[in-house]
A and B are shown apart, each in its own frame.
Chain A
Amino acid sequence: MVKAQENKKKQGESWADVLAGNRLAVYTLIAIVIACLFGVFLPQRGPGLSEAQYQDLLNAEGAWGIAAKIGLLDVFHSLWFYGLILLLLINLTVCSIKRYQNFAKFDRTFPTEPGPELLNRMPYKLEFSATAIDDATVASVLSIKKKVGTSHSAYYYSETGRMGRYGVFAIHGAVLLLAIGVMIGNLFGIDGTINIPEGESYSTILLRKGGAYDLPFQVRCDKFTVEFYDSGQPKLFRSVLTFIPPYGNPVKADIEVNKPVAFGGYRFFQASYGQIPEKLTMRITRRADNKIFEPLSVFAQQSYKTPDGEAQFGVMQTDPDKANAGPAAMVVEEIPGSDETSFWIFKTHPEFDQSRNGKYFYELMDIGPGGYYTGIMVAADPGVWVVWTAFAVGFLGLILAFFVPHRRYVVRISGDQITLGGFSNRRGLESLEDRMLAIQEHLKAKEN
Chain B
Amino acid sequence: MEGYFAHILESFGQGTAASVSSGFFESAFLSCLISTVFYILYLLWRNEKVRWIGFGLAAIGTAMQTAALILRWMAAGWAHPPFTNLYESLVFFAWGIVLVYLIVELKSNVKIAGAFVVPIACMAMGLASLNPEKEIQPLLPALQSIWLHMHVMFASIGYAAFLVSFVFSVLYLYKDGLPLSRFTAASGAFTVFGILAVARAAIFRASFLVPRVTFAHGKLVKIPIEGGGPTDFVQTEVPGLGAIMLAALIFGAITLIVSIYLFKSDPEEKKNRTVITIHAVHFIIMTYVIFHYMLMAARNDDIAISAAPYSFAMLLFAWLMGLVVVILYARMGILKSALPDARALDRYAHRSIMVAFPIMTLVIVTGSIWANQAWGRYWGWDPKETASLVTWIIYLLYLHTRVTHGWTGRRTAYIAIIGFVSVVFTYLGVNLLLAGLHAYATG
Give chain A's interface residues, CB within 8 Å of chain B. Answer: 2-5, 7, 22, 25-26, 29-30, 32-33, 36-37, 39-41, 44, 47, 75-76, 182, 191, 229, 231, 233-237, 256-258, 260, 267, 269-271, 377-379, 381, 384, 387-388, 391, 394-395, 398-399, 401-403, 426-427, 429, 431
Contact = CB atoms under 8 A, between A and B. Distances in A.
Contacts of B357: 398, 402
In the complex, which of the residues A75, A76, A257 has the most CB atoms of chain B within 10 Å of its own CB atom? A257
Given A47-B436, A235-B141, A256-B141, A37 B399 contact: no
Nearest to A379: B376
Interface of B: 137-138, 140-142, 144-145, 347, 350-351, 354, 357-358, 361-362, 365, 368-369, 372-383, 386-387, 389-390, 393-394, 396-397, 399-408, 430, 434, 436
Contacts of A431: 347
B405 A5 contact: yes
Contacts of A427: 350, 402-403
Contacts of A76: 381
A18 to B, nearest CB: 16
Given A26-B397, A44-B381, A260-B376, 12 more contacts: A5-B405, A33-B393, A36-B389, A36-B393, A40-B430, A47-B380, A236-B141, A257-B142, A258-B145, A258-B373, A426-B404, A427-B403
B374 A257 contact: yes
A38 to B, nearest CB: 10
A403 B376 contact: no
Contact of B403 (A47, A384, A391, A402): A402
Contacts of B401: 26
Contact of A4 (B389, B393, B405): B405
23 contacts: A2-B408, A4-B405, A4-B408, A5-B406, A22-B405, A36-B390, A39-B381, A40-B386, A191-B377, A233-B140, A234-B141, A235-B141, A257-B141, A257-B144, A257-B374, A258-B141, A388-B369, A391-B365, A394-B361, A402-B357, A402-B358, A402-B403, A426-B404
Contact of A26 (B379, B400, B436): B400
B405 A7 contact: yes
B365 A47 contact: no
Nearest to B402: A427
Given A237-B141, A269-B375, A402 B354 contact: yes
A215 to B, nearest CB: 15
A384 B376 CA distance: 10
Given A47-B382, A229-B138, A40 B354 contact: no
Give the 10 A-B residue pairs with the shortest CB-CB distance, closest first: A257-B141, A379-B376, A76-B381, A426-B403, A4-B406, A229-B138, A269-B376, A40-B383, A391-B365, A377-B376
Which of A40, A258, A379, A401 has most B Cβ within 10 Å? A40
Residue among B374, B375, B380, B386 with most chain A CB within 10 A: B386
Contacts of A3: 406
A206 to B, nearest CB: 14
Nearest to A39: B386
A32 B393 contact: yes
Contacts of A379: 376-377
B387 A40 contact: yes
Contacts of A258: 141-142, 144-145, 373-374
Given A2-B406, A258-B142, A258-B373, A384 B378 contact: yes
B429 to A, nearest CB: 9
A384 B372 contact: yes
B193 to A, nearest CB: 14
Contacts of A30: 397
Contacts of A395: 358, 361-362, 365
B394 A429 contact: no
A33 B390 contact: yes
Interface-centre pick from B140, B141, B380, B406 (highest chain A CB count, 10 A): B141
A80 B443 CA distance: 36
Contact of A429 (B142, B351, B436): B351
A36 B393 CA distance: 11
Nearest to B379: A182
A263 B48 CA distance: 67
A387 B371 CA distance: 13
Nearest to A268: B376
A63 B257 CA distance: 29
Contacts of B378: 384, 387
A99 to B, nearest CB: 10
Nearest to A426: B403
Contacts of B141: 234-237, 256-258, 270
A25 B397 CA distance: 9
A22 B407 CA distance: 13
A410 B208 CA distance: 68
B217 to A, nearest CB: 12
A25 B357 CA distance: 19
A219 to B, nearest CB: 15
B403 A29 contact: no
A403 B403 CA distance: 11
Given A427-B402, A427-B403, A271 B375 contact: yes
A151 B361 CA distance: 54
A270 B375 CA distance: 9
A401 B350 CA distance: 15
Contacts of A233: 138, 140
B376 A267 contact: yes
Given A39-B386, A191-B377, A271-B375, A403 B393 contact: no
Greatest chain A CB density within 10 A among B347, B372, B401 is at B372
Contact of B399 (A32, A33, A39, A402): A402
Contact of B375 (A377, A387, A398): A377
Contacts of A4: 405-408
B100 to A, nearest CB: 15
A7 to B, nearest CB: 7
A150 B267 CA distance: 59
Nearest to B430: A40
A402 B350 CA distance: 11
Contacts of B145: 258
Contacts of B369: 388
Contacts of A270: 141
B358 A29 contact: no
Nearest to B380: A47
A47 B435 CA distance: 10
Contacts of B142: 257-258
Contacts of B362: 395
Contacts of B365: 391, 395
Contact of A40 (B373, B405, B434): B434
B373 A429 contact: no
Contacts of B400: 22, 25-26
B230 to A, nearest CB: 13
* Most chain B Cβ neighbours within 10 Å, of A270, A381, A401, A427: A427
Contacts of A257: 141-142, 144, 374
B374 A29 contact: no
A426 B436 CA distance: 40
Nearest to B394: A33
A233 B143 CA distance: 13
A394 B368 CA distance: 14
Nearest to B426: A40
B15 to A, nearest CB: 22
Contact of A29 (B350, B387, B397): B397
A231 B138 contact: yes
A235 B376 contact: no
Contacts of A36: 386-387, 389-390, 393
A366 to B, nearest CB: 35
Contact of A401 (B138, B380, B382, B403): B403
